[in-house]
Structure 1
């Protein structure tokens, strides 16, 4: 399935782009905030082969994609305007309350940073190893450059969080960045470092170190966003573009240094100290609980509540002793998926479990959890048991994390500190988690889906009798017919997108080739996809490389979901403007679901008029039309 098609189906499944208040993505999930969740079609989305599962958690509608989520996210930007508007009015979203609101805020703020945070964390861990074993000296300039590369994200974390928080709450990004910049401004840092007594118009200021902090800037930007909206209500349009930022800066920077900053630092330290105390009381029990429950936290989205604690510990103490136990849970579910792969007789499940195991080894557990262990139940329980054992070992060993990053094979260096203390315990813990979970998943068994087999009942065609023309496509464009092989674009010329023809237009009009429904109306207006009432899917792509024209030569008369009749005007284009921009006007007309048919044949040569017969579709027996019988899954037990 193409990313573009999947993106269109996801947008439709969440209730259309007008129902989307905001969208971010993490390593494996699209995280929608919807205006009305009742409009989302969760059941249909879960049936889509490109989607692992759909979760509703922390006030978000989460579509779990897997490793290709960045590509799908980008495709959503291509087929809709969802990503163009970073200032959606969150006030139109039903209010979330309590813990759900907190989780929604934290996940929206941190999710965009996870990828680069993991990359920087891995580099920081490798540098720790290199210096500990003597491969690199901290006095070398090479180390200085690499350490700046690895540590800059964490040092300037308030600036990055200012951006994501401003986007979440609809505040001015540059004003938020300026406030964050003031917190780490050299002269402000020097006041703290030198212990200088600081006052602001006679009010004492408790100076704190804000590098790498989390809570102060989040609180500051949230309040700033509210202040901006208030100012914009009363300040005249002619001056608000500079008066509102002026007021925001003059109020928020001192207020943050006086109130929000110290409060945020104290709260963050208090939470972190409480959790550290729990591990100090009984690291074995605390590690076992976290190792067993981490994937449950992930499923319900509440793990986001611990992410700021991990970061705060590393910022304040240079290390974190809580996060390592979570690694046991990751490797436990990896082992459970591996046990399923070894045990199952179902070829599709074996392939899925194998790929999910590989993905989970590198920290991406959603395909393993949602696609394999959780649906089969017993393997998921096996993972919980294995995670508890491994977490207990890691907790008792006193393993520490020295940088941020999702636990996985590549991020193991972030757990290697001075002298390697606690690192052997981590290796033993994750190995035990993997092996115990794999063994239990294999031994306990699960309901193994049985392969579907064709019945002896003769199959019948679904779209007519093979060998005849079962559906005709009328020409949507008047002009001269050009073979696809002569189109100056390999995607069309190779028929990789489907069979059809191209037309050099004689007029700037595109009409409906049959009665049907508009399935895609590209936001650049240069192309349309329409499905007939009989199932033929047609793409009309006006010109080559015309997407770069930003829709200027085009006038679109329909939108996605519209019912149209044969001959109805769909699109108008200025052919001369397209040519003046250096683009070819030749227009491919493609049957994109060609694979469902026996053949697609041209019915006309030379010049064609609008609504003249253009293509003939021959139906064929498809795999989906073959009657099948399904043997109920049999219990596979030791």
Structure 2
């Protein structure tokens, strides 16, 4: 994993080119100083990278389900984390790119737990509808508060991520979010709803109390305003007092401002957006379903889907349901069906394995492996998935399906489309539309998704796989070639440690014979194990019994884990001094792939660096 992390960092222009790094469910999202330093072609050739592209003001490297592991490895090898870069490191970008960057940074860290909370809410609704559980039972109570806690206190979670993104103190922002959801604030709102309630004011200004639990826009705006005040205070206040005086001023000024101005205006704006969307949806629900079902995955490719995420959560907060989240279900199932069609049709073993795992991930809402690894490269399956998603979305629009909790479109969403009144036509419409999208995409892909020539070629390749031609491995050392059996050390001469040749060195260095990495380097520096990008494993042993030199006469130029390119100097050694100390300077170059790869010398008395040395048959 460290090797992949280093390759990705190198591909994006090095650590000094990275302004910030975050990740979502399947992709790394880099903000870079200079996009011209990116080597996208090399990144796209890495076997563990599904796709690398510039999108939405970010450079995105799509990894798949292991993205969190790769992210942690990058942070470990570079010292990076997801902290906001210091002022002055921003790059110029358009308004849309900035908006998408802000939204993705604020919402991405919460997606996993939000999806989990929404799924649990949906399962509880399903249990209530089927009378598997009672709403008054302790079991329901505990599971309900677990599912509802994050969404009820959503302003606190968004306060933390927004505070970090805007460059403020995230805990100051969390205090503001806590004020919005404090029991006294909720109590004041409830009291204000009672007839004859006395109005409250702040230094003579009337307070309009609103229930901010589950709200989205108010705390994001409050965190943005607070971050600006923080930066100004930190510049002006003495260092001895700014650590506590800056947060104090933010609480005293921004909290009242949030209740008096920011909150009411943001709530009005949020309600305007929610009602506006519902009005448009009410005019043409089938058209809205077809558009989202067909185009959502296109938006995902370019990272533009983040622009709609706040609207979904805003709908849930203010309306208690969201039609948009339901309409995404056939978009996901369309790509799952297309991937399943590839799995059933292809004869290529690697593609079949990839399609099988990608289809499984897609069922649980992670479609990037399916899109970038299977359907998009083949073109037609991706198109069939989008067309089928549009038809399925049209059906969901006709049924007026909605979700009633935060969702990541997946098989679990079927439990989240159940309204509080129980299963109705909207639920059956969601199921039918999703099955239509998946089934039609699978059928179209199976029949027409892969060209017949490609299927036939894959079958021919499969039949010929057993007759793989040998490939050449180049020499890491300049010297005279000797048979391995002539070596004085029986362990090497017998070939038990690997097949290869012996070389009497005529120069004092070892170079990389291929591109790959240094798997290991002995402490004394006389043994190197290299792994090529194609999987070839090579052991290079300089001298016989030279471990006794304890590093004398050796000078390593690399370390374990380093990436190498053909011709890089790996090790320098003084073969004359070694011979003068009574040591045999013969070097062993062995192929030690697991499974017994056959390596035979290419006939030659003397070999130069990077000249053909061995013919290897897998």
CA distance in 2, matches of 1:107, 1:309: 13
Counterparts of residues 402-417 of structure 1 (less than 5 Å): 402-417=404-419
2:414 counterpart of 1:428:
no
CA distance in 1, matches of 2:99, 2:239: 34
Counterparts of residues 320-399 of structure 1 (less than 5 Å): 320-399=322-401
Q: Deviations over 1:398-448 (max 9, x none)?
A: 212011121112343222223112211111110000111111222333343
Pairwise CA distance, 1:18: 1.8
Q: What SS is found at the alignment partner of 1:461?
A: strand
Superposition TM-score, scaled by structure 1 size: 0.76
Contact 1:7 / 1:76 at 8 angstroms: preserved in 2?
yes
Equivalent in the alignment of 2:443: 439
Pairwise CA distance, 1:29: 0.7
Q: What is the aligned-residue RMSD (CA, Å)?
A: 3.2
Contact 1:124 / 1:151 at 8 angstroms: preserved in 2?
yes
Pairwise CA distance, 1:588: 12
CA distance in 1, matches of 2:428, 2:481: 68
- With 354-363 and 411-420 compared, the bigger mean Cα shift is at 411-420
Q: Deviations over 1:457-509 (max 9, x none)?
A: 9755222399x9989xxxxxxxxxxx9xxxxxxxxxxx9xxxxxxxxxxxxxx
CA distance in 2, matches of 1:621, 1:534: 18
Superposition TM-score, scaled by structure 2 size: 0.79
Counterparts of residues 100-139 of structure 1 (less than 5 Å): 100-139=97-136
Q: 2:536 aligns with which of 596, 604, 609?
A: 596
CA distance in 1, matches of 2:204, 2:522: 68
Counterparts of residues 23-422 of structure 1 (less than 5 Å): 23-83=21-81, 86-89=83-86, 91-195=88-192, 196-418=198-420, 419-421=422-424, 422=426
Say if 1:588 and 1:151 are closer, same or farther in 2 by CA, change over 3 A. Answer: farther
Contact 1:461 / 1:621 at 8 angstroms: preserved in 2?
no
Contact 2:527 / 2:541 at 8 angstroms: preserved in 1?
no
Q: Deviations over 1:339-364 (max 9, x none)?
A: 12222233322222222212111111
CA distance in 2, matches of 1:610, 1:444: 66
Pairwise CA distance, 1:587: 10
CA distance in 2, matches of 1:460, 1:106: 50
Q: 1:461 aligns with which of 469, 472, 481?
A: 472
Q: Deviations over 1:44-98 (max 9, x none)?
A: 1111100000132211111110011111111112211111x61422531213232
CA distance in 1, matches of 2:275, 2:213: 19
Pairwise CA distance, 1:322: 2.0
Contact 1:276 / 1:322 at 8 angstroms: preserved in 2?
no
Q: What SS is found at the alignment partner of 1:207?
A: coil
Pairwise CA distance, 1:239: 1.2
Equivalent in the alignment of 1:609: 551
Pairwise CA distance, 1:279: 2.0
Contact 1:192 / 1:208 at 8 angstroms: preserved in 2?
yes
Contact 2:172 / 2:247 at 8 angstroms: preserved in 1?
yes
Gap runs ≥5 in structure 2? 193-197, 483-490, 492-496, 498-507, 555-572, 574-584, 592-598, 602-613
- With 222-231 and 342-351 compared, the bigger mean Cα shift is at 342-351
Q: Deviations over 1:159-191 (max 9, x none)?
A: 111111111122111111111111111111112
CA distance in 1, matches of 2:229, 2:147: 35
Pairwise CA distance, 1:205: 2.4
Q: What SS is found at the alignment partner of 1:63?
A: strand
CA distance in 2, matches of 1:275, 1:97: 25
Pairwise CA distance, 1:536: 7.6
Contact 2:11 / 2:40 at 8 angstroms: preserved in 1?
yes
Q: What SS is found at the alignment partner of 1:462?
A: strand
Equivalent in the alignment of 2:579: none
CA distance in 2, matches of 1:210, 1:470: 79
